[in-house]
Amino acid sequence: MSSKKVLRTSGTDAVAAALRDGINARGVTLAWLHEQLRVRGNRVSMATLSYWRSGARRPEGVQSMAALHDIEELLHLPDGALTALLGGTNRTGPLGPNQFPLDEKELEQAVKDTFEALGTPYPDTSRELTTHSVTDVDADGNVFRCITRSVVQSTVGTVSAIPFLELSPGISTPAPLLDAVSGGSISARYSHPTGEVHGALFELESPLTAPGTAVIEWSIAYPDDYPPTRETGHAVARQCRELMVWTRFHPDALPDWIEEKIETPTGIHLAPLSLEGRSSIHQVRRAFGPGTVELRWGFGERTDQPG
């Protein structure tokens, strides 16, 4: 008589084994991986990475999913080599209200018009679970590039494309250069006649059925005729589990003053911030939204009134 033993590997063990193999094949250390994640704005601790490698702890949550996606790229692993081993969930979790993040009715109507022109329903049925937005400022002190990475989730039905908008309330601008970096492609673009709303439709690599998630990345650059801009930020229409806005200044153009502006349905909060010897500043909000996280800066004595 013969017998067979069936070995079942848990998601935790599978991720740990794949992570160890990837680190060994790449010939790097855990400390190197930790530093590369930090540079990308993903602040996973050394202890957490060690737990994942040993299998003592399972990666959980959207921040861990974003970190695993980064690790796949850093270790030159195929997409999903780690994240696909975790399996999925059958819940979307608490959704919270879905509402326009700014208290400006005319601007919201322009956004609705843009959604219609892009051929997508308003409001959007996806949500951002985790978003890291990184803005670079040039030697003149103006924004010249923004790269955003998000873990997005379908909240109902199936989503094949997600609209992303660039808003400039009260200022008419030419269309910024919005492009897909990873996770899909741009299938449509539209600029509202007011010049205050510019949109692009991000077509996902594959349709996303609730409560499925995907990691996507897109960039915004600004043409030469774009008005000089000394503010940045990110808005969400639903609650986001983690929103980070990281602004990196050119070392030859460190601002003399910096102000944070947080706008939610309950009101607007302004607060002065300081670089404190650094060349960048990051704002992190958890369980945030609907609302906007903004940063504004300037040089010399401030003459305008905060607000």
Closest alpha carbon to 150 in 264, 75, 42, 35: 42
Backbone angles phi, psi at 25, to 5 degrees: -65, -35
The confidence score (pLDDT) of residue 105 equals 87
134 with 262, same domain?
Answer: yes
Is 95 domain-assigned? no
Q: Is residue 99 part of a domain?
A: no
Asked if residue 17 belongs to a domain, the reply is: yes
How far is residue 181's CA from residue 205's CA, in Å, rounded to a whole number? 12
Of 262, 271, 270, 269, the C-alpha closest to 290 is 262
pTM: 0.70
More confident residue, 79 or 93: 79
Task: Tell me the pLDDT tens digit for each residue of 86-143.
Answer: 755 445 555 566 777 777 889 899 999 999 999 999 888 899 999 999 999 999 999 9
**Residue 158 covered by a domain:** yes
- pLDDT tens for residues 243-284? 999 999 999 999 999 999 999 988 999 999 999 999 999 999
Q: What is the pLDDT of residues 197-248, one digit of tens each?
A: 999 999 999 999 888 889 999 999 999 999 999 999 999 998 898 999 999 9
CATH of the domain at 56: 1.10.260
Judge if 65 and 201 occupy the same domain. no
Answer yes or no: is 213 within a domain: yes
CA gap 49, 57 in Å, rounded: 9
**What mean pLDDT, rounded, does the chain reach?**
87
Q: Note whether 68 and 131 are same-domain residues.
A: no
- Total of domains in the chain: 2
Handedness of CA 225, 231, 232, 237 (dihedral sign): negative
- 132 and 74 part of one domain: no
- CATH code of the domain in which 181 resides: 2.60.40
Q: Domain range holding 58?
A: 11-86
The pLDDT of residue 9 is 39
Torsion over CA of 63, 243, 36 and 136, rounded to 10 degrees?
A: 160
Please check whether residues 163 and 59 belong to one and the same domain. Answer: no
Is residue 134 located within the same domain as residue 228? yes
Q: Is the peptide bond before 223 cis (omega within 30 degrees of 0)?
A: no
Tell whether 163 and 212 lie within a shared domain.
yes
